[in-house]
Amino acid sequence: MNADVLHLPSGALWRNRLGLLLESTGEGVFGIDLAGDCVFINPAGARMLGYAAGEVMGRNMHALTHHSHPDGSPYADSDCPIFNAFRNGLPCRVDTEVFWRRDGSAFAVEYSSHPIVEGAQVHGAVITFIDITDRKRAADELQRAHDELERRVAARTGELSQALAQLRELSAYSEQVREEERTRIAREVHDELGSLLVALKMDVNWLHKRLGEQAARTPEAADGMRTQMRCKCQNMSRLIENAVDNVGRIITDLRPSILDHQGLWAALEWQAQEFAQSAELALDWRMDVPPALHLPEPAAIAVFRIFQEMLSNVGRHARASAIDIAIGLQDGQLHLRVRDDGVGATRQALEAPTAYGVMGMRERARQLGGQLRITSEPGAGSSLQLWVPLP
């Protein structure tokens, strides 16, 4: 026996039981004859179509409820899977089409059609259907959410790729800066300290030689030689002082000792005063920080380096005549602002991939859990603000 065709048993008892089944089910069920006309329909099916059961009996079901595709284009009954169930003996199950209601509206439907066979004779087909509008809507919403998620993932992936590329560039730039700094220090050690030490060595050799000749000199010549030796010693003392100054300057460039001895706040003020004096800028300095407030050493060093880079940007790019620096506490955070009256910069220039100084400051700020804000307009100067949450 073919499981895809419906064989109707005979007898009033079975017909009554089938009638009760059709009445009780929530699915729509109707039967059609070989002409496609309705021979029975249950109340749930008629209600979904917007009709009373008696209004549907005897009417062509394709023309009544399956006449058009979802886009409204005509649906020929020769293509209808429902009719093919009895015309060609082809059972079907479809969930991509619509049924049309009495009021002209359509609803997404899932239906199945099976031939009705009695004996060896096909008499029509029985069709079961359900309204899947909610299911379709949920599936569409799920698909939209999936598409939105993919779009966001693609956007985040692009941002992450860009951030990683910038991080690689920043790392390469930092390494280049370190190498340049090593080269500068090596050159200063060679050119300045090296030359001082060579001069000292020559003076020491001169003294050694003259001391060896001391016994052979007359008293008058010895007095003159002692005068020359005193002058030579004074010159050597000056060379040693210069060497000490150069060593101190190089050490300060590497790490200001004031940062270790007097703390961050004194180091910031010293750096600001040194910068304003060397750059010949008018300085407006304001700092309102409790003296007892201390940042952990890594945070203090990071804040100091960010401050140095802020001043360096002013010196390299701003062409300013005055600089305004304010340091204080706001909303439980350390707030450091450097503002100048220079030429300013465009947003594109500040966010350019080659703006390594800005990227470095922002990266240091992120490591502290803070943020760097830059406000600048061409011709209107720049304002750089650092916000760091306090421990």
Tell me the per-residue pLDDT of 77-118, one tens digit each, with 9 for 90 and over: 888 888 887 777 778 899 999 999 999 999 999 999 988 877
Tell me the per-residue pLDDT of 225-255, one tens digit each, with 9 for 90 and over: 777 777 877 887 777 777 777 766 666 666 6
Give residue 298's pLDDT. 84
Question: Nearest-CA neighbor of 91 among 126, 138, 41, 43?
Answer: 126
Residues constituting the chain: 391
Please check whether residue 265 is in contact with residue 289, taking contact to mean a CB–CB distance below 8 angstroms: yes
Q: Are residues 339 and 382 in the same domain?
A: yes
Q: Which residue has the tokens 């594109």?
A: 348
The rounded distance, in Å, linking the Cα atoms of 207 and 199 is: 12
Secondary structure string (H, E, C) spanning 79-125: HCHHHHHHHCCCCEEEEEEEEECCCCCEEEEEEEEEEEEECCEEEEE
Which CATH number do you get for residue 46?
3.30.450.20
Q: Are residues 123 and 10 in the same domain?
A: yes
Task: Quote the tokens at residue 343.
Answer: 């030429």
Please check whether residue 35 is in contact with residue 52, taking contact to mean a CB–CB distance below 8 angstroms: no
Is residue 165 domain-resident? yes
The rounded distance, in Å, linking the Cα atoms of 172 and 151 is: 31
pLDDT > 70: percent of the chain: 82
How would you label 173-206 residue by residue, b for 16+ Cβ within 10 Å and e otherwise?
eeeeeeeeeeeeeeebeeebeeebeebeeebeee
Please check whether residue 324 is in contact with residue 339, taking contact to mean a CB–CB distance below 8 angstroms: yes
Question: 5 or 387, which is more confident?
Answer: 387
Tell me the per-residue pLDDT of 336-368, one tens digit each, with 9 for 90 and over: 999 999 998 888 888 777 777 888 888 888 888
Q: Are residues 262 and 384 in the same domain?
A: yes
Give residue 216's pLDDT. 59
Tell me the per-residue pLDDT of 15-72, one tens digit each, with 9 for 90 and over: 556 666 667 678 999 999 988 999 999 999 999 999 998 999 999 999 999 999 999 9
The H or E element that residue 52 is part of is: none
Q: Are residues 152 and 246 in the same domain?
A: yes
Query: Which amino acid would we find at residue 80?
Result: C
Q: What is the mean pLDDT of residues 321-346?
A: 92
Q: Are residues 270 and 348 in the same domain?
A: yes
Q: Are residues 118 and 198 in the same domain?
A: no
Among 196, 224, 254, where does a domain finish? 254
Q: What is the CA radius of gyration of the chain?
A: 46
Is residue 117 domain-resident? yes
Q: What is the mean pLDDT of residues 364-390?
A: 90
Q: What is the mean pLDDT of residues 144-150?
A: 93
Please check whether residue 127 is in contact with residue 82, taking contact to mean a CB–CB distance below 8 angstroms: yes
Is residue 1 domain-resident? no
Give residue 167's pLDDT. 75
What confidence tier does 199 reach under pLDDT thresholds 50, 70, 90?
confident
Give residue 1's pLDDT. 40
Q: Which residue intervals of the chain are DSSP H helices?
A: 12-24, 43-49, 53-56, 61-65, 81-87, 133-188, 194-212, 219-254, 257-261, 264-279, 297-313, 347-350, 356-367
The rounded distance, in Å, linking the Cα atoms of 307 and 325 is: 10
- Number of domains forming the structure of the chain: 3
What confidence tier does 218 reach under pLDDT thresholds 50, 70, 90?
low
Q: Are residues 184 and 285 in the same domain?
A: no
Q: What is the pTM of this model?
A: 0.46
**126 pLDDT more than 80:** yes
**7 pLDDT more than 50:** no
Report DSSP letters for 163-219, one per residue.
Answer: HHHHHHHHHHHHHHHHHHHHHHHHHHIIIIIHHHHHHHHHHHHHHHHHHHTGGGS-H
Among 235, 254, 273, where does a domain finish? 254
Among 211, 236, 254, where does a domain finish? 254
Q: Are residues 162 and 64 in the same domain?
A: no
> Domain residues for 353?
258-389
